[in-house]
Chain A
Amino acid sequence: DAGVIQSPRHEVTEMGQEVTLRCKPISGHNSLFWYRQTMMRGLELLIYFNNNVPIDDSGMPEDRFSAKMPNASFSTLKIQPSEPRDSAVYFCAISFSLGNQPQHFGDGTRLSIL
């Protein structure tokens, strides 16, 4: 257990619907990362936060994607409207200090858009 709780674990929805993925990290971390994993593109960083502030969102694919971190213990990744090509496993990861440090992943959300 890396101390990162993601929900839901699985989500199946129809295209056009809004999807919200959630991440609850344990206390003590400084940074939070959102990744997307697909067979074709591998593990891609979407966005990361330092001390709840977005630092780099250059990996967010389109304006349909948005992420927030209202406090140190909660973050969301939202897709609106969703499309079939958004189907992937989405991981949240944390690290415990600034600078180059190990990242610890949650169990991920498997998202299927029909």
Chain B
Amino acid sequence: GENVEQHPSTLSVQEGDSAVIKCTYSDSASNYFPWYKQELGKRPQLIIDIRSNVGEKKDQRIAVTLNKTAKHFSLHITETQPEDSAVYFCAASPQGAQKLVFGQGTRLTINP
């Protein structure tokens, strides 16, 4: 079955700097890759997603890149702000299945 590895487990950056979180997946048939943000005590919320027929997708300060050959995808946050502090989860969904397999999460802290 699918396995998703996420790095780093914790990340601390200065406000205004960029943050990058990386994930690798094992199943080459996976074709959908969402990213979720979870604030303390809250539910995971979808922030951006990408499908396997696209290499990059951007939404304001957030971008996701996908390398199908290497089976890895990354989340990029530019001009970080204190409200970006949260736990971020990547996930992969195998083709033909709706289930999401989540990475272990990255705790991002933005230092003012």
Contact = CB atoms under 8 A, between A and B. Distances in A.
A61 to B, nearest CB: 16
Contacts of B61: none
Contact of B43 (A45, A48, A106): A106
Given A45-B100, A107-B43, 12 more contacts: A2-B43, A33-B99, A33-B100, A43-B89, A43-B105, A45-B101, A95-B98, A98-B98, A100-B31, A100-B93, A101-B32, A101-B98
B42 A107 contact: yes
A112 to B, nearest CB: 14
Nearest to B32: A100
A14 interface: no
A104 interface: yes
Contacts of A50: 98
Interface residues of A, number: 24
Interface residues of B, number: 23
Given A43-B89, A100-B51, A108 B98 contact: no
B46 to A, nearest CB: 5
Interface in B21-78: 31-32, 34, 36, 42-46, 49, 51
Contacts of B104: 42
B10 to A, nearest CB: 13
A100 B49 CA distance: 11
Contacts of B42: 107
Contact of A91 (B34, B44, B93, B95): B44
